[in-house]
């Protein structure tokens, strides 16, 4: 990962463009909150729709620009 972003309460963290997220990746958000990527689909030429599961088990979809940097812990 050549890109890094700064997360509140965490600090600098490795990141990838949203278009390169894959099922099984773990996204990291401000204050260390994590979510598991369940799937990624193209929403338009510039956006993807990412289905996520939070630590509480709730699932939701998030629309993101393909170039948006998202902090991740890659699946093993």
The CATH label, of 2.30.30.30, 3.40.50.300, 3.30.470.20, 3.40.50.9100, for the domain at 3-73 is 2.30.30.30
Domain boundaries, the chain: 3-73
- Give residue-wise pLDDT tens across range 16-38: 999 999 999 999 999 999 999 99
- Give residue-wise pLDDT tens across range 37-55: 999 999 999 999 999 999 9
**Assessment of whether the complete model's pTM goes beyond 0.85:** yes
Q: What is the DSSP string of the chain?
A: --EEEEETTTEEEEEEEGGG--TT-EEE-GGG-EEEEEEEEE-SSSEEEEEEEETTS-EEEEEEETT-EEEEE---
């Amino acid at each position: 990962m050549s890109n890094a972003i700064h997360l509140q309460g965490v600090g600098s963290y490795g990141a990838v463009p949203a278009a390169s997220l894959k099922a099984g990746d773990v996204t990291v958000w401000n204050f260390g909150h994590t979510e598991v990527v369940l799937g990624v689909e193209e929403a338009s030429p510039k956006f993807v729709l990412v289905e996520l599961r939070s630590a509480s088990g709730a699932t939701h979809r998030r629309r993101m620009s393909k170039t948006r940097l998202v902090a991740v812990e890659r699946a093993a």
